[in-house]
Amino acid sequence: MTVTGFGNDATMVGVLEVLDLESGEVQLLDSHGPRTLGMALGARGEVLATGGHDGVLRVGSVSGEPPHVFFGHDGPIPEVAVDPRGRWVASGGQDATIRVWPMPEGPPFHTLPYEELLDRLRAVTNLRVVPDEQSANGYRIEIGPFPGWAEVPEW
């Protein structure tokens, strides 16, 4: 498996394609968006990580399912690397930062059913949205204790 990209100018990939080296079959990969700068393929050729012009890192299957999205860079991400063991993804942004992310597992948060998404978010934060009649929008954010996990969530 290999991934190629081409675009209208030298600074931006407009289209990503996955080429199966054994069969010669080419598949368009539009799940990572139209403005990709950096990209890296995992060692087994099954996972693609891309850095976008929008400052978002996307990590997902080369088969085209929705990728996991990682926010944190303040600007384009031209450099992306995947750990050879598939445990980490690194991204280098034009904001002069390098970020190292754990390789995601399971379905992306934004594709989960609403209740499952809320359950996962509750498991990783001590912030809660609670009703507040005094607030302009009727809610406020409450910060509670976060003692850690008794058991690390398995997603």
| DSSP state letters, the chain | -EEEEE-SBTTBB-EEEEE-TTT--EEEE-TT-S-EEEEEE-TTSSEEEEEETTSEEEEEETT-PPPEEEE--SS---EEEE-TTSSEEEEE-TTS-EEEEEPP-SS-GGGS-HHHHHHHHHHH-SEEEEE-TTSTTSEEEEE------SS----
pLDDT at 59: 93
Distance between CA 20 and CA 2 in Å, rounded? 7
- 42 vs 106, more confident: 42
pLDDT-derived band at 4, boundaries 50, 70, 90: low
pLDDT at 128: 75
pLDDT at 149: 61
pLDDT at 130: 82
Kindly report the average pLDDT of the chain as a whole number: 81
pLDDT-derived band at 113, boundaries 50, 70, 90: confident
* Structural domains of the chain, ranges and CATH numbers in brackets: 2-104 (2.130.10.10), 114-143 (no CATH)
The backbone torsions φ and ψ at residue 115, rounded to the nearest 5 degrees and listed phi first, read: -65, -40
Report the range out of 65-74, 120-129, 132-141 with the highest average pLDDT: 65-74
Distance between CA 33 and CA 123 in Å, rounded? 29
Q: Which residues pair with 36 in a beta bridge?
A: 13, 52
Distance between CA 66 and CA 104 in Å, rounded? 12
Residue 77 above 90 pLDDT?
yes
- Cβ atoms within 10 A of the Cβ of 4, count? 13
pLDDT at 31: 82
Question: Mean of the pLDDT values across residues 28-34?
Answer: 81
